Amino acid sequence: MARSAISFDPSAEREVDLLIAGAGPAGMAAALVASIEGLDVLLCEKSDRVGGTGATSAGTLWIPGNSQSRAAGFNDSGEQADFYLSALIGEATNRELRNAYLLTGPTAIDYLCARSDVQFLPCGKHPDYRSNMPGAAVSGRAIVPEPFDGRLLGADFWRVRPPISEFMLFGGMMVGKADIAPLIGRFDSFANFIYSAKLFARYVADRLRYQRGTRLMMGNALIGRLYYSLQKRKVPILFDAPIGELIGDQSGVKGARLRMDGRDIAVRTRKGVVLATGGYAHNKTLREAFMPHPVPGHSMSCEGNSGDGVQLGLHLGAATSPERCPSGLWSPVSIVPHRDGSKGLFPHLVLDRAKPGLIAVNSAGRRFVNEAASYHDFVLAMFESNNKTTPSIPAWLICDATFLRKYGLGVIYPGHRNPGKFVDNGYVMSARTTQELARKIAVDPEQLERTIARHNGFAETGVDIDFAKGEIELNRFNGDPDHKPNPCIGPAATPPFYALAVWPADIAVSTGLATDADARVLGSDGTPIPGLYACGNDMASVMGGSYPGPGTTLGPAIVFAYRAAMHARGARA
Ligand SMILES: Cc1cc2nc3c(=O)[nH]c(=O)nc-3n(C[C@H](O)[C@H](O)[C@H](O)COP(=O)(O)OP(=O)(O)OC[C@H]3O[C@@H](n4cnc5c(N)ncnc54)[C@H](O)[C@@H]3O)c2cc1C
CA–CA gap between residue 315 and residue 317 (Å, rounded): 5
Any atom of ligand 1 within 6 Å of the Cβ of 374: no
Whole-number Å distance, alpha carbon 538 to ligand 1 midpoint, is: 10
**Ligand 1 pocket test target in 123, 218, 507 with most atoms within 8 Å of CB:** 507
Any atom of ligand 1 within 6 Å of the Cβ of 304: yes
Could you tell me the pLDDT band of residue 8, with boundaries at 50, 70 and 90? low
pLDDT exceeds 70 at position 92: yes
The closest residue, in CA terms, to atom 48 on ligand 1 is 52
> Dihedrals φ, ψ of 384, to 5°?
-60, -50
Any atom of ligand 1 within 6 Å of the Cβ of 543: no
Asked whether 42 and 14 are in contact (CB, 8 A), the reply is yes
**Residues constituting the chain:** 573
Whole-number Å distance, alpha carbon 149 to ligand 1 midpoint, is: 21
**pLDDT (0 to 100) of residue 542:** 95
Any atom of ligand 1 within 6 Å of the Cβ of 31: no
Q: Which of 32-41, 185-194, 502-511, 530-539 is predicted least confidently? A: 185-194
Any atom of ligand 1 within 6 Å of the Cβ of 548: no
pTM comes to: 0.96
Whole-number Å distance, alpha carbon 229 to ligand 1 midpoint, is: 19
239 three-state secondary structure: coil
**pLDDT (0 to 100) of residue 572:** 67
Could you tell me the pLDDT band of residue 12, with boundaries at 50, 70 and 90? low
**Ligand 1 pocket test target in 305, 349, 546, 559 with most atoms within 8 Å of CB:** 305
Higher pLDDT: 519 or 262? It is: 519
Asked whether 142 and 62 are in contact (CB, 8 A), the reply is yes
**pLDDT (0 to 100) of residue 470:** 97
549 three-state secondary structure: coil
Query: Which tens digit of pLDDT belongs to each residue from 203-227?
Result: 999 899 999 999 999 999 999 999 9
Whole-number Å distance, alpha carbon 304 to ligand 1 midpoint, is: 10
Q: Rounded mean pLDDT of the chain?
A: 94
Any atom of ligand 1 within 6 Å of the Cβ of 56: yes
Asked whether 327 and 290 are in contact (CB, 8 A), the reply is yes
Whole-number Å distance, alpha carbon 51 to ligand 1 midpoint, is: 7
Asked whether 287 and 294 are in contact (CB, 8 A), the reply is no
CA–CA gap between residue 81 and residue 548 (Å, rounded): 9
Query: Which tens digit of pLDDT belongs to each residue from 541-559?
Result: 999 889 999 999 999 999 9
pLDDT exceeds 60 at position 2: no
Question: Which sign does the torsion angle of CA 313, 56, 130, 113 carry?
Answer: positive
Whole-number Å distance, alpha carbon 243 to ligand 1 midpoint, is: 16
Whole-number Å distance, alpha carbon 183 to ligand 1 midpoint, is: 29
**pLDDT (0 to 100) of residue 417:** 85
Query: Which tens digit of pLDDT belongs to each residue from 241-293?
Result: 999 999 999 899 999 999 998 899 999 999 999 999 999 999 999 999 999 98
Any atom of ligand 1 within 6 Å of the Cβ of 506: no
Find, among 510, 509, 513, the residue nearest to 316 by Cα. 513
**Ligand 1 pocket test target in 57, 238, 299 with most atoms within 8 Å of CB:** 57
301 three-state secondary structure: coil
Any atom of ligand 1 within 6 Å of the Cβ of 28: no
Any atom of ligand 1 within 6 Å of the Cβ of 551: yes
The closest residue, in CA terms, to atom 10 on ligand 1 is 551
Give the per-residue SS3 of 190-206. Answer: HHHHHHHHHHHHHHHHH
Q: What number does the ligand 1 atom closest to the CA of 258 have?
A: 42
What's the rounded mean pLDDT across residues 336-364? 95
Any atom of ligand 1 within 6 Å of the Cβ of 512: no
Could you tell me the pLDDT band of residue 202, with boundaries at 50, 70 and 90? very high
**pLDDT (0 to 100) of residue 7:** 54
* Extended beta strands in 469-517, E state: 497-508, 512-513
Q: What number does the ligand 1 atom closest to the CA of 347 have?
A: 1
Find, among 354, 338, 310, the residue nearest to 471 by Cα. 354
Asked whether 253 and 18 are in contact (CB, 8 A), the reply is no
Asked whether 427 and 339 are in contact (CB, 8 A), the reply is no
> CA-CA distances (angstroms) from residue 157 to 83, 176, 265, 301?
42, 19, 27, 22
Could you tell me the pLDDT band of residue 167, with boundaries at 50, 70 and 90? confident
Any atom of ligand 1 within 6 Å of the Cβ of 513: no
Could you tell me the pLDDT band of residue 324, with boundaries at 50, 70 and 90? low
Could you tell me the pLDDT band of residue 4, with boundaries at 50, 70 and 90? very low
Whole-number Å distance, alpha carbon 380 to ligand 1 midpoint, is: 21
Q: What number does the ligand 1 atom closest to the CA of 279 have?
A: 26
Any atom of ligand 1 within 6 Å of the Cβ of 52: yes
Higher pLDDT: 545 or 66? It is: 66
Whole-number Å distance, alpha carbon 302 to ligand 1 midpoint, is: 7
Whole-number Å distance, alpha carbon 559 to ligand 1 midpoint, is: 15
